Structure 1
Amino acid sequence: MHKNNTMVSSFQDIESEISFKKANDLASDAIVKNFCIFVKSIVNFGYYFHASE
């Protein structure tokens, strides 16, 4: 339960960071790319974790 709350607040922090920096296109692009890498690493970790069970 606590882990989910931490994830939600992390996503909220990322969302507010994105909207805060939207005026700067380069910053937004960097955030989006980093976010995509972050999501991919979570997906890869989840796949690896389930495959190793």
Structure 2
Amino acid sequence: MDAALQAKLPAKIRDAGFVRVATDVPYPPFKMYATAGGGKMTGIASAGREA
């Protein structure tokens, strides 16, 4: 970790020890269906959900 960069964060984030990030990128390769009209998701977004 870069201590100088970490020191620039607001105290609330430094104290929490993590940053929560949300996004909605509804196009490949981030989020897509394995088959057209199917219900099984694939792509980067689904891989992160399973981690």
What is the TM-score with the length of structure 1 in the denominator?
0.35
Considering fraction of residues, name the structure with more helix. Answer: 1
Considering fraction of residues, name the structure with more strand. Answer: 2
Q: Which has the higher contact order (CA 8 A, sep 6+)?
A: 2
What is the TM-score with the length of structure 2 in the denominator?
0.36
